[in-house]
Copies of this chain bind each other. A is one copy, B any other.
Amino acid sequence: MSHAYNESLKAWRANEVPIGAVIEFNGTIIARAFNQVESLNDPTAHAEILAITQATEAIGDWRLNGATLYVTKEPCPMCSGASIMARISTVVYAVPDPKMGCLGGAGSVHELPRLNHRVAVRSGVMEAECKAVLQVYFQRKRADS
């Protein structure tokens, strides 16, 4: 998660909502990404989606069975769904999101009864550090506006 945290700081420096993600596979980090919605002008350019695309390029297979996605905030509906479509084995997130999170927060798309792939979920890892980054970012954003 510390690597995902470092990615979130890169997002902050790029004036993006500071969320970072990494994907680990066989003990190696095969993808690192941060949120780039504004700089790429693309609403799908969340850290998780960029990391998943990077990871599938790295291993030459779009099926990421066995991989773990670490992300600093609970994935939104799109990214929760992407982790299922990409067949990621485990998602570990830092900060729960009761508004938009879909791996247990606002919803639980990983628990839909008829999915053909199951994602295991862990949360709360490095929560305080990752939450602080998000809070300070939004406080400053509000102060600037």
Contact = CB atoms under 8 A, between A and B. Distances in A.
Interface of A: 37-38, 41-44, 46, 49, 52-53, 56-57, 60-64, 76-82, 84-87, 98-100, 102, 106-107, 109, 112-115
Nearest to A97: B114
A107 B107 contact: yes
Given A44-B53, A63-B43, A102 B82 contact: no
A100 B114 CA distance: 7
Contacts of A114: 98-100, 106
30 contacts: A37-B62, A38-B62, A41-B60, A41-B61, A41-B62, A42-B52, A42-B56, A42-B62, A43-B52, A43-B62, A43-B64, A44-B44, A44-B49, A44-B85, A76-B85, A77-B81, A77-B84, A77-B109, A78-B78, A78-B79, A78-B82, A79-B81, A81-B102, A100-B112, A100-B114, A102-B112, A106-B112, A107-B107, A107-B109, A109-B109
